[in-house]
Amino acid sequence: MLLSDDGFSANTINGIISVLKSSLKRAVALGIAEKEYTDCIVRPKQREKQVECFSKDEQRKIEQYIYEKKKTKLFGILLCLYTGLRIGELLALTWNDVDLQKGLISVSKSCHDGWKNGAYVKIVDTPKTLCSDRVIPLPKQLLSKIKEHRKQSAGEYVVDGRSEYGAQVRSHQKTFELLLKRLHIPHKGFHSLRHTFATRALECGMDVKTLSEILGHKNPTITLKRYAHSMMEHKAEMMNRLGKLLL
């Protein structure tokens, strides 16, 4: 039996199968059903989503604009480009999580937008996975900029917002969208900053195990599988170097 995936993602279908199998297994344990009847189900293959990252020129434009405008609310974008933080991790980051002397960021929480007591609020929660709980060393060049940003920040959160709880996810995503539009850069989601960090790290020669730990992946295989095909500029550069051997 092969379940049709028309209109549904592989993740959705596999989730339905898992619930079905769990329910039937429980039914057998309770004596409601004789057997599970799920051995013939074929799970759809999951395709890795294509990684979108910014080119070096696009990244340079983004960074230059942030440096020139000196808007504190844009600093989080720069931070993501050089740490690979997810947006929820970024906006949950407080100054207590940043060790300016040692140059370390501790990622121990994340956040998302939600409704509470009839209001749209930022909800701080645990990280995405156990592996997401990690410590990230900061590049020395970025550390000096974080220290400057700290002097201008009056709130508890690294990325300030309109409230005492810092910036909210949707609001920060909108800020990023407007920035790309202003710079005439094709639209990409905020998560592309994380993908850009990973791609640049591999291009610079960072080993996959180190990158995996910085990103908070479960193992290096996930990192390699996700990003090995995204470095087209780097691949072209390496091939051109090889081409120089041609007589």
Q: Which two tokens stand for residue 37?
A: 């009847």
Provide mean pLDDT across the span 85-114: 93
pLDDT of 4 higher than 60: no
Q: What pLDDT is stored for residue 200 in this prediction?
A: 92
Model confidence pLDDT, tens digit, residues 100-158: 999 999 999 999 888 777 776 778 888 777 788 999 999 999 999 999 999 888 788 99
C-alpha dihedral (94, 97, 101, 104), degrees to nearest 10 = -120
Q: Which residue has the higher pLDDT, 210 or 5?
A: 210
Q: What pLDDT is stored for residue 183 in this prediction?
A: 97
Q: Which two tokens stand for residue 106?
A: 């501790």
Q: Is 35 helix (H, G, I), strand (E, B) or coil?
A: coil
Model confidence pLDDT, tens digit, residues 8-52: 767 678 778 888 888 888 888 888 877 877 777 777 776 656 678
pLDDT of 90 higher than 80: yes
Q: What pLDDT is stored for residue 49 in this prediction?
A: 65
Question: Tell me, what DSSP letter sits at residue 194?
Answer: H
CA max distance for the chain:
76
pLDDT of 1 higher than 50: no
- What residue type is assigned to position 112 of the chain? H
Model confidence pLDDT, tens digit, residues 170-208: 989 999 999 999 999 999 999 999 999 999 998 888 999
- What residue type is assigned to position 23 of the chain? S
